[in-house]
Amino acid sequence: MERQVAAVRRFNRTVTQRIGALDDAYMARARPLAQARLLWEIGPGGAEVAALRARLGLDSGHLSRLLRALEGDGLVTVGPSDRAGDDARVRHARLTDAGRAEWTELDERSDRFAQSILEPLAGPHRERLVAAMAEVERLLVSSMVVIEPCPPGDPRARACVRAYAREVARRFDDGFDPALSSPVDDADLTPPAGLFLLATLNAEPVGCGAVKLRPDAPAEIKRVWVAGTVRGLGVGRRLLAELERHAAQRGRRRVRLDTNRNLTEAIALYRSAGYREVEPFNTERYAHHWFEKRLAPRVER
Amino acid sequence: MERQVAAVRRFNRTVTQRIGALDDAYMARARPLAQARLLWEIGPGGAEVAALRARLGLDSGHLSRLLRALEGDGLVTVGPSDRAGDDARVRHARLTDAGRAEWTELDERSDRFAQSILEPLAGPHRERLVAAMAEVERLLVSSMVVIEPCPPGDPRARACVRAYAREVARRFDDGFDPALSSPVDDADLTPPAGLFLLATLNAEPVGCGAVKLRPDAPAEIKRVWVAGTVRGLGVGRRLLAELERHAAQRGRRRVRLDTNRNLTEAIALYRSAGYREVEPFNTERYAHHWFEKRLAPRVER
DNA sequence: CAGGATTCCTGACTAAAGTCAGCTTTATGG
DNA sequence: CCATAAAGCTGACTTTAGTCAGGAATCCTG
């Protein structure tokens, strides 16, 4: 671990600092960095002011002033949304022609900067750098995924469950009709009857998982799903572990689940997480495999 | 190439930006970021003011003021070097006990930050991240190596040649006595009689190479050396290519060199760069292999 | 439709960063 | 020993960044 920490620190120092500083220098033209970044973030398609504030993490007053500055330079116009019926409080920033030209310039500079990094390297090294960068990026992204309890009625939770249903419908041999599957009630996934976990990346939902805690039955895990964009990065495993931890904490000694034979990664995950296949314990229409795992009793924490 | 540029840009954006910002946040305690960075950079061993200025890229006035601020807080003392005989204009910054305590705190924060990146990842992913980070770092470092012509009498050039002699003395079966080797005159490596190239990383010399251009003989390459810290990153290949380019530009159609059998990486490099082994063309005491390469005639540029 | 919540804006600041000219002290090369 | 250069300091700025309290317009909810 110590060695790993040292490696991460060295990386932060050389890469983050140096590249970061250079990137800023390339970005800032005659303009203050914050303005350049904002212009960039608005982009050719325009953006809502609220979204910009969230993405750049700026104070509302500060952002307003930056927008006024860009407006003053004739690069941006800020006005209400063009679609009628939209919330008229929400304002929309758009690039003018001059702004678009400036944006293109920034885009090209960014390209040139990336090229200047690749250019001194010989072909194979170049390919290795790109591959390693992609790997770092993927893994860092996955380490930024946050998992927390969430009411199953939350819109983000609903979005995940819908995505889950869509995917399952695509992958099951005979499609998926929710009406034929045993239904799950929101109340069963709300503490203390159960728990729904939501995985988010930068506040965007990217996964979910739930556990049902019936009074004197084994805990039952449902709806473990991970978005394609972060699959293969251990998010599923983290969700599962978190659900098991919760069940153990609530005194359950066993946890079980059923799954479809086409969900091969899920089955692999369950096996490698210590689940053993058992006889069917329900009559779920779409299930082919039933798993169970014994939990070590855990102290309340 | 386009795909690679896009990958680098995505990396710059997500990794550099996010990690960079977080790193700053961890670094800055109650103190302004620039002060914290400076304190960190001074380190437990102290540092010369000029070195700090170079490393942090700060204006002399700005740095002075930052030092005064840290001095005012009792964290740093600035005075002349402790060794007698040193240049008394050069001032040396040292941490006080309080400053050392603060430094330790920053060090621990940096550790904690690195841990917070690793912690959400499962073991194997963690190892992959560390490996990928190391790879990115090495390759980026290599892409920051600058190769340029340099007078062979320059102190940095001399340092490289000394390092070359030391290494060669260690690796040759029978040591290396410069007196027994055919001597190379500085004048032969100075334009137009020849060329000496220096490879530097952040202004530190990390490699060299030279070519001798006798009037009507093939160009002869000498003293290609790369420091251990950047070996395996294509610096040797770049040096070689640059020397060949120069020879071609000066009208030479062939370039040759001799080498010792123990310099296996060098031999592999020459072969893969298109050199073919030829009969001995000189009586160099330490040479076992003689190589030659035909150059494509190149237009002046 | 009243009252509260949202969204964005402005005014009035403070803090930090960065710039530049000129000064003092110390080295160095004839 | 003198002229010149180099290292670092101070004073006197300007520019950016960031904060916070209110205020107008718009929306939502009962």
Interface of A with B in 230-259 (CB under 8 A): 233-234, 237-238
Nearest to B31 by CA among B91, B92, B74: B74
Distance, Å, B54 CA → C1 C1': 67
* pLDDT attached to residue A171: 84
Which tokens sit at B60?
A: 């002399």
Task: Give the pLDDT mean for B202-229.
Answer: 87
* pLDDT attached to residue B43: 93
Asked if B140 has any chain A CB less than 8 Å from its own CB, the reply is yes
Instruction: Give Dmax over CA atoms of chain B in angstroms.
Output: 71
Min distance B6 CA to chain A CA atoms (Å) = 8
Domain ranges of chain A: 2-120, 146-294
Asked if B10 has any chain A CB less than 8 Å from its own CB, the reply is yes
Which distant-in-sequence residues (6+ apart) come within 8 Å of A246 by Cβ? A195, A211
Architecture, CATH, for domain B146-294: 3-Layer(aba) Sandwich (3.40)
Q: How confident is the model at residue A38 (pLDDT cuts 50, 70, 90)?
A: very high
C-beta of residue A95 within 8 angstroms of C-beta of residue A52: no
Asked if A43 has any chain B CB less than 8 Å from its own CB, the reply is no
Euclidean distance between the first and final Cα of chain B, in Å? Answer: 25
User: Per-residue pLDDT for B291 more than 70?
Assistant: yes
Q: How confident is the model at residue B299 (pLDDT cuts 50, 70, 90)?
A: low
Q: How confident is the model at residue A84 (pLDDT cuts 50, 70, 90)?
A: low
d(CA A117, CA A126): 9
Q: How confident is the model at residue A157 (pLDDT cuts 50, 70, 90)?
A: confident
- Quick: pLDDT tens for A161-202: 888 888 888 888 887 777 777 777 777 888 788 899 999 887
Q: How many CB pairs under 8 A join A and B?
A: 173
Strand D CB-contacts below 7 Å:
A 32-35, 58-62, 65-66, 86-89; B 48-50, 53, 60-61, 63-65, 67-68, 78, 87, 89-91
Residues paired with B210 in a beta bridge: B196, B222
- Quick: pLDDT tens for A233-271: 889 999 999 999 999 888 888 899 999 888 888 999 999
Task: Give the pLDDT mean for A15-22.
Answer: 85
Instruction: Give the type of residue at A185.
Output: D
User: Per-residue pLDDT for A139 more than 70?
Assistant: yes
* pLDDT attached to residue B269: 92
Q: What percent of chain B has pLDDT over 70?
A: 97
* pLDDT attached to residue B300: 53
User: Per-residue pLDDT for B96 more than 80?
Assistant: yes
- Highest average pLDDT, of A35-39, A231-235, B177-181, comes from A35-39
SS3 A269: helix
* pLDDT attached to residue B41: 94
From A9, A14, A133, residue closest to B114, measured CB to CB: A9
Min distance B121 CA to chain A CA atoms (Å) = 6
Could you write out the three-class secondary structure of B49-96? HHHHHHHHCCCHHHHHHHHHHHHHCCCEEEEECCCCCCCCCCEEEEEC
Mean pLDDT, rounded, of chain B: 87
Question: CB B120 to CB A20 under 8 A?
Answer: no
Task: Give the pLDDT mean for A94-99.
Answer: 94
Distance, Å, A106 CA → C9 C1': 28
Nucleotide nearest to B79 (CA to C1'): D8
User: Per-residue pLDDT for B63 more than 90?
Assistant: yes
Min distance B155 CA to chain A CA atoms (Å) = 25
Q: What percent of chain B has pLDDT over 90?
A: 43
H or E element that contains A196: strand A194-201
Lowest mean per-residue pLDDT among A7-16, A236-245, B103-112, B183-192: B183-192
What DSSP line would sit under A86-99, residue for residue? S-TTSEEEEE-HHH
Instruction: Give the type of residue at A67.
Output: L
Distance, Å, A34 CA → D20 C1': 20
C-beta of residue B285 within 8 angstroms of C-beta of residue B180: yes
User: Per-residue pLDDT for B165 more than 60?
Assistant: yes
Chain B contact probe: residue of A13, A38, A136, A235 with most B CBs at under 10 A: A136
User: Per-residue pLDDT for B83 more than 90?
Assistant: no
Lowest mean per-residue pLDDT among A185-189, B122-126, B261-265: A185-189
* pLDDT attached to residue A103: 95
Residues of chain A with C-beta less than 8 angstroms from the C-beta of B230: none
B146-294 and B2-120 share a CATH fold: no
* pLDDT attached to residue B84: 61
Which distant-in-sequence residues (6+ apart) come within 8 Å of B94 by Cβ? B42, B46, B76, B77, B78, B79
Is domain A2-120 in CATH 1.10.10.10, yes or no?
A: yes
User: Per-residue pLDDT for B5 more than 80?
Assistant: yes
Task: Give the pLDDT mean for A130-152.
Answer: 89
- Quick: pLDDT tens for A44-65: 999 999 999 988 989 999 999 9
Angle, CA A143 vertex, CA A139 and CA A148 arms, to 5°: 145
Chain A contact probe: residue of B38, B136, B206 with most A CBs at under 10 A: B136
Nearest to B228 by CA among B259, B203, B265: B265
